[in-house]
Amino acid sequence: MSFGHPLVGLQRVSERLCMLRPKIHAGCSVNSKKRGCIQEYPARPVLATGRLKIRGGTNFQVNQVFLKSGIFQPGTSKHVEKEIAREEGAQTWADLGEKLNIYSYGTAQVYKDTWHQAAHWVKDNLGVRDIETLKGEHIKSFLESRIADGVKFNTFQREAAALAKLENALNMYADREGKHNEYNFREAIRDVREEASQVLDKTVESRAYENPHSLISSISNDNFRAVASAQYEGGARMNEVWKIETNDLKGMKLDPYTKEFKGYIEVEGKGGKEREIAVSIETYKQIEAVLMQKENMHFDKDDYREALKEAALLSDQDYTGSHGLRWNFAEERMEELREHTNMTYEERLQEVSWEMGHERADITEHYLHR
């Protein structure tokens, strides 16, 4: 099949690449100017040392590194890759970062956004037009500009992690293309991170998620979505959900305060103390379906945390851990009891404390401060 003019061929190939990556190139078209789409094309292919080297605009270069480096490995277990890296000698989180790739569409989308942002910034402010000439000092200057912008420390950390992964991608790209370029951004990132840690806002008024419904709906794994729902709706700890077995399902009954039908599940809390949590009928049935396939809810906790991190990225929220969902429960249950009962604040606080498995009400009060 002939595309005719070579640029037309490049254009059609790019259209196909967009269709092959719907979650990363959603809504893009060949004529689109959206960052992240492969829409900038070179004036001509240039031969360099016997190899066909394609040069193009900033967005095009970023996409080429992403696509050709092999950094994106969807469907590969990050947990398994971590274990392999540890067997090969990785000991610290920094060591792991140098060896791991990008495994989810959500992380890929967020990281690529930062790559585009940084590449455009160094082009506009430092005159660096070729992504293959990036150095640690350029990355440091970009991150220093983000400090000057006054971004939240969590935002800085996310962008720094993305740029550390760009180092991986560029090294992989150079290796695959038979080039001799070597990249080291991590030392520069480490230096500027110390400054960011001292001056940027780290305050977290609440660990509750801004939009827990959006967070949970962004989790792609059905089982993990059920786990997160149980934490959010029932105030359960992650480990409490992990322990649930078939005989812990206690059926459906009315919530004594809201008069809604809910599913009740017995969980084992700290110190072996048991209590019942109440979840929506939908969540109860989801957990019931999981337990029809196996005898307990056991799941990989690291993979669950990774799923929450990805969901937080996709729903544009700060990741506050699985415990953040208990913060949401505490806040919303207090409001629910205020609307449906005549309880005093102290009585509501004590009830929510019992439902969360806390012995003392003052511990629960910690969850209510924004």
Q: How far apart are CA 131 and CA 63, in angstroms?
A: 11
Query: Which residue type is seen at 25?
Result: H
**CATH fold label, 212-368:** hpI Integrase; Chain A (1.10.443)
Please name which of 225, 212, 240 lies closest in space to residue 286, comparing C-alpha atoms.
225
Q: What is the pLDDT at residue 89?
A: 82
Quote the tokens at residue 289: 């379906």
Q: What is the pLDDT at residue 369?
A: 63
What are the residues whose beta carbons fall under 8 Å from the beta carbon of 332, sequence distance 6 or more?
none
Sign of CA dihedral 197, 202, 208, 214: negative
Please state the domain extents for the chain: 6-199, 212-368
Q: What is the pLDDT at residue 9?
A: 40
Q: What share of the chain is helix, strand, coil (3-state, %, to 5)?
A: 60, 10, 35
Least confident of 27-31, 98-102, 160-164, 195-199: 27-31
Q: What is the pLDDT at residue 204?
A: 58
Chain centre distance of CA 77: 15
The winner for highest mean pLDDT among 56-60, 211-215, 269-273 is: 211-215
Q: What is the pLDDT at residue 49?
A: 39
- Comparing 352 with 30, the larger pLDDT belongs to 352
- Helix (H) and strand (E) counts for the chain? 16, 5
Task: Tell whether the model's pLDDT for residue 362 goes beyond 80.
Answer: no
Q: How far apart are CA 47 and CA 22, in angstroms?
A: 32
94 confidence band (pLDDT: 50, 70, 90): confident
Quote the tokens at residue 136: 């640690």
Q: What is the pLDDT at residue 79?
A: 78
pTM strictly above 0.75: no
